[in-house]
Chain A
Amino acid sequence: MTSYDERLAAFVGRTLSEGTRAQDPVNVPMIRHWVEAMGDPSPVHLSEEAARATGRDGVVAPATMVQAWTMRGYARTVDPAPAAGGFAELVALLDEGGYTSVVATDSELDFVRELVPGDEISVDEVVSDISPEKKTGLGVGRFVTTLKTYRDADGAVVATQRWRTLRFKPAEAPAPQEPAALRPRPAINLDNQFWFDAAREHRLVIQRCASCGRLRHPPGPQCPACQSFEWDTVDAAGGATLYSFTVAHHPRHPAFDYPLVIAVVELDEGTRLIANLAGIEPEDVTIGMRLELDWLDADPDLTLPIFRRATSEED
């Protein structure tokens, strides 16, 4: 047993609170409030006549309401008294062990007699057991069992309540998942959509004038040489040469890895396009180096060509 366990074990048998008095004696208005809210069907809680008809001397409070009389009420809930005594010490020790959350799991009420208006109730609470650490659905914790004893003004026991709470370490809330930053969206329109559609199929296409056969990039509706609006495409083979490049350091965008090599790539077919270079340090990049096509599936909606150093210098 660890010293922490021993310190907890020392609480077994200790009184957590003693003589906590109800703010008001058992009374009909509070019984009415309870009976109405709970939907309690029995007339013996409000009607003297009905109560006498069952052999009682007069109205009685609902049995499980015994716990309500000594509740601390609104003012003490929103502005608790400074913690003191056995209960505060136990809570502090449980906090020290990380058991900061609490949920009630079991209640066993034994009723000695029915309460009647005028009864002045008080309650004592004594620790009867503190379990070893257990794994539960809520997290690891310890079951703390106490015995609450409810007494009347003469000190006679009117009810007891075995009360079990789980004091647990709240399961670590999963860290809020930052959605991965997406690359800026390309401005796709009717004139260039074919190019991005082909990219999603890992095809690098080049627009070709259907009239004069000239290749062009970036995509556009009209041939700059012959002004024809007719066009088709050819697939690039993937071989290329580095025409120019720059290295972006700032400002940074969370979707990119830095240092970011941005290249003007000349395809073997003759057109140039702007793309990122991957798998190469900026100091190893040289104008004129041979490149080969690869693909970046950036996100479900965006695939882009990237280029890597050619595996064979001359292909």
Chain B
Amino acid sequence: MTALSPTRTAGSVTVGEELPELAIPLTRTLIVATAIASRDYQDVHHDPALAVERGSKDIFMNILTSNAMVERYAKEWAGPAAVLRKVKVRLGAPNYAGDTMTMRGTVASVDGTRVELAVTGTNSLGPHVSGSVVLELPAEEVSA
């Protein structure tokens, strides 16, 4: 787990700002643990032999986890007070066990307290996920 930023405020964000990269090693354990945590028991997400039989080269990440990784990446940047309004993704190359997915993002637009991020997650085969996240940021510092 990477460090969580203190909550950003809408006023501190500028369009074009880049989010720090996040490399996520796609260990076999991660693929299986996240599939089960999302209650997805499809065999292609935990059984290597059956995944190969069905035409994949190995087990691969399920979609709920791809969504969750986009959420995680946005929140690591935005901080705990941010509220997600939208997560929109298009899926591409599978996230196979053993690969690494690198997340990148930029601030696409700021509309009042609503901030839209453009986010991609790329593995060695190409883009696994590309999409956008809309967050509601506090207008001002939240006093804890």
Contacts and interface: CB of A to CB of B under 8 A. Distances in A.
Q: Is A bound to B?
A: yes
Interface in A5-47: 33-34, 36-44
A78 B41 contact: yes
Contacts of A37: 30, 33-34, 36-38, 65
Interface residues of B, number: 42
B109 interface: no
Interface of B: 1-4, 7, 24, 30, 33-34, 36-42, 55, 63-65, 67-72, 75-76, 80-81, 83-91, 138, 142, 144
Contact of A63 (B2, B71, B80): B71
A72 B142 CA distance: 39
Shortest Cβ-Cβ A-B pairs, 10 listed: A37-B37, A71-B39, A63-B84, A54-B81, A64-B67, A77-B41, A53-B144, A41-B4, A37-B33, A38-B68
Contacts of B1: 39, 41
Contact of A42 (B4, B30, B37): B4
Interface of A: 33-34, 36-44, 50, 53-55, 62-65, 67-68, 71-74, 77-78, 103-111, 114, 170, 173
B4 A43 contact: yes
Given A37-B30, A68-B64, A43 B39 contact: no
A78 B81 CA distance: 39
23 contacts: A37-B33, A38-B72, A39-B1, A40-B71, A42-B80, A43-B4, A43-B80, A50-B80, A54-B81, A63-B84, A64-B67, A65-B38, A67-B38, A68-B38, A71-B38, A71-B39, A71-B64, A77-B42, A78-B41, A105-B90, A108-B86, A111-B84, A173-B55
A67 B89 CA distance: 14
A44 to B, nearest CB: 5
A111 B41 contact: no
Contacts of A170: 55
Contacts of A44: 80
B61 to A, nearest CB: 11
A40 B68 contact: yes
Contacts of A77: 41-42
Given A33-B37, A37-B36, A68-B39, A105 B91 contact: yes
B54 to A, nearest CB: 9
Contact of B86 (A50, A74, A111, A173): A111
B69 to A, nearest CB: 7
Contact of A40 (B55, B75, B83): B75
Given A42-B75, A54-B142, A64 B7 contact: no
Contacts of B80: 42-44, 50, 53-54
Given A54-B81, A78-B41, A38 B4 contact: no
A109 B87 CA distance: 5
